[in-house]
Amino acid sequence: MGVSGVGDGRIQDAHKRVMQAEKDANQQIVQTQKRVEDATKEAASRLDMIRDQYVRQADTLRDNHELSAARTKEQGYQNLQELRQTIKTEINTATRQGDKDLRTITDYYGSESQRQLHEGEKNLKAARENQIKAQEYQFHQADEQSQMTKKSQEHQIEDTRQLHESRMNELYSTSQKDYEKTKSAHITAKEKAKGVFDKNLVESLNAHQLTLDRVNRDATGKLKQLTDSYSRSLAAYEDRQTDPFYQMVRLNGEVREATDGFIFVARVPKHEQSQITVNVVGERLLVGGARQAKEKLEESPGHQIETLSFQSFHETYPLSGPIDEKNISKEFDGDHLIVTLPKAKFPKEPTYKKPSADHTRAPRPDFPKGVEAVLAPRGKTEPNDAGDGTLA
């Protein structure tokens, strides 16, 4: 036990060193990740600010271009309307003057009227063609001016966009370099922490293995002694008549009758109370349960002995009257089972049911307790659910 305590103390010290190294490494990793996140957020903020400035300038240039185009278009429409009004006025004036001259010529020169009318129409057609050409020329000039203004605005926008892209690329390159430096420092710190952790882990495992070897040697000697004693105890059960496995299991319960019902009391160990069942069949109380036990022993390396036992049991108690089955209650008071069976207010007619056979079992053998105490630290045995052999 002294060697085991020293070995456990060394294991705990080594485990503490490993946990402290791992904690320091995690803190360095968290700090590095925080610096990386701060650098990334700052770069993103700068990019968003530059992008917003670029968008505002582009919107301003686009609005100025649209306003200039609208003004040019409006001025062209105004000039066109004035030109149309002038042409219309001149046409009306020419028409009135022609009509006047025609009437005068008709009065004095009957033969010249047709010629003057033809010349007037010719002049009018020529004037109209001139006005149309002048209108088309003004439209062409306005369109060329609009195209030139549009191209100039596009060149300005493209120059601004290229300038902003160049600045963004420079900022991104700077941020990427900072990120790579931070990442390299993070990887170096992580590898250093991992090396310290691996070293401490190897030291802890070596110390743990030495302790386990010592405990294993001590336990093997004690286990050999207990195995011999256990084998001698098993040899005591030579026939079926003396083997407790084949003996009856008795609850030794008691049914007490009261004015308004019955009370059943029996002793049941706490570790077997979860397997107890209570049923009423006609005017009989049926109490049953189940239990199992598993034993596993390693006598020598590669040589194991394992036993799995399972038992179920039922015991029937007669009742002197019908029971209100809906209000039956079951409870445990310490290691005692208490079943309350209220009497039925309106007795039912007795019905015949075929009785079922009782299943009984004997208590398990009382093996040496030292076997479980030695095997438990090495993980060679499992908890015994059989208890002291009374009620499962």
Question: In this predicted model, what pLDDT tens digit does every residue of 193-224 receive, in sequence order?
Answer: 888 888 888 888 888 888 888 888 888 878 77
pLDDT at position 364, please?
58
Residues ≥6 apart with Cβ < 8 Å to 390: 249, 251, 267, 268, 269, 272, 363
User: What DSSP state is assigned to residue 379?
Assistant: T
Q: How confident is the model at residue 240 (pLDDT cuts 50, 70, 90)?
A: low
Cα-to-chain-centroid distance, residue 56 = 41
Task: Calculate mean pLDDT across residues 82-93.
Answer: 85
In a domain, 341, yes or no: yes
Among residues 180, 200, 220, the one where a domain terminates is 200
Element (H, E) at 217: helix 113-234
| Whole-angstrom Cα Rg for the chain | 56
Percent of the chain whose pLDDT exceeds 90? 8
Cα-to-chain-centroid distance, residue 110 = 108
Query: Do 44 and 159 fall into the same domain?
Result: yes
Amino acid letter, 262: F
Q: Is the pLDDT of residue 132 over 80?
A: yes
- Domain span including residue 327: 244-378
- Strand-pairing partners, residue 323, are 343
In a domain, 236, yes or no: no
Query: Do 344 and 269 fall into the same domain?
Result: yes
From 50, 47, 51, 61, select the one nearest 157 (Cα to Cα).
61
In the block, residue with structure tokens 């705990």: 12
Q: Is the pLDDT of residue 385 over 80?
A: no
Query: Do 194 and 251 fall into the same domain?
Result: no
Percent of the chain whose pLDDT exceeds 70? 78
From 215, 163, 186, 179, select the one nearest 43 (Cα to Cα).
179
Query: Do 64 and 170 fall into the same domain?
Result: yes
- The encoded tokens of residue 352 equal 């015949």
Q: Which residue has the higher pLDDT, 247 or 308?
A: 308
- The encoded tokens of residue 350 equal 């007795």
Query: Do 44 and 143 fall into the same domain?
Result: yes
pLDDT at position 47, please?
81
From 287, 275, 283, select the one nearest 339 (Cα to Cα).
287
In a domain, 218, yes or no: no
Here the CATH number for the domain that contains residue 254 is 2.60.40.790
Q: Is the pLDDT of residue 139 over 50?
A: yes
Cα gap 122→144, rounded to integer Å: 33
Task: Calculate mean pLDDT across residues 175-180.
Answer: 86
Average pLDDT, the chain: 78
Cα separations in angstroms, 365 against 97, 99, 233, 391: 146, 147, 9, 14
What end-to-end distance do the CA atoms of the chain give, in Å?
36
Query: Do 52 and 196 fall into the same domain?
Result: yes
Q: How confident is the model at residue 390 (pLDDT cuts 50, 70, 90)?
A: very low
As for how many domains the chain has, the answer is 2
In a domain, 29, yes or no: yes
Query: Do 180 and 303 fall into the same domain?
Result: no
pTM of the model: 0.31
Q: Which residue has the higher pLDDT, 102 or 347?
A: 102
Asked if 268 contacts 336 with a C-beta cutoff of 8 angstroms, the reply is: yes
Query: Do 176 and 70 fall into the same domain?
Result: yes
